[in-house]
């Protein structure tokens, strides 16, 4: 089962969910706002894609953080602490595909290679 992690009102998450449905990819949606960030899975995501990929430094949430909080994110441990405390700083969507592969973000081309 493919699981898409994100926030329901995020435009990129909406596009990814629509794409998966239209391409008949059996999937579940995990809402960070309602269900939180799965602390047991976060280390695996960091190993798979890197903490630098997971922390969305271009988003509004990051920009609203104070400079000291931003400066404190220097490695996987500090990034994980921030992501667990503030799910909105995670780049979305995080997708754990049926084969266990983890991807971050959405593009039609990247998703197409996953189901081809």
Q: How far apart are CA 9 and CA 27, in angstroms?
A: 18
Residue 9 per-residue DSSP state: T
In the three-class reduction of DSSP (H, G, I as helix; E, B as strand; rest coil), residue 45 is classed as helix
* CB burial string 35-59: b at 16+ within 10 A, e below: eebbeebbeebbebbebebbbbeee
Q: Among this protein's residues, is 10 annotated catalytic?
A: yes
Residue of 2, 3, 7, 10 marked active site:
10
Which residues are catalytically annotated?
A: 10
């Amino acid at each position: 089962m493919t699981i898409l992690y994100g926030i329901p009102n995020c435009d990129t998450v909406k596009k990814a969910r629509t794409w998966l449905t239209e391409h008949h990819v059996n999937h579940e949606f995990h809402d960070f706002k309602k269900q939180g960030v799965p602390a047991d899975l976060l280390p695996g995501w960091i190993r798979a894609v890197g903490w630098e990929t997971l922390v969305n430094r271009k988003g509004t949430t990051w920009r609203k953080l104070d400079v000291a909080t931003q400066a404190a994110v220097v490695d996987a441990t500090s990034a994980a602490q921030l992501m667990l405390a503030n799910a909105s700083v995670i780049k979305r969507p995080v997708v754990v595909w049926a084969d266990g592969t983890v991807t971050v973000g959405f593009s039609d081309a990247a998703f197409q290679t996953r189901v081809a």
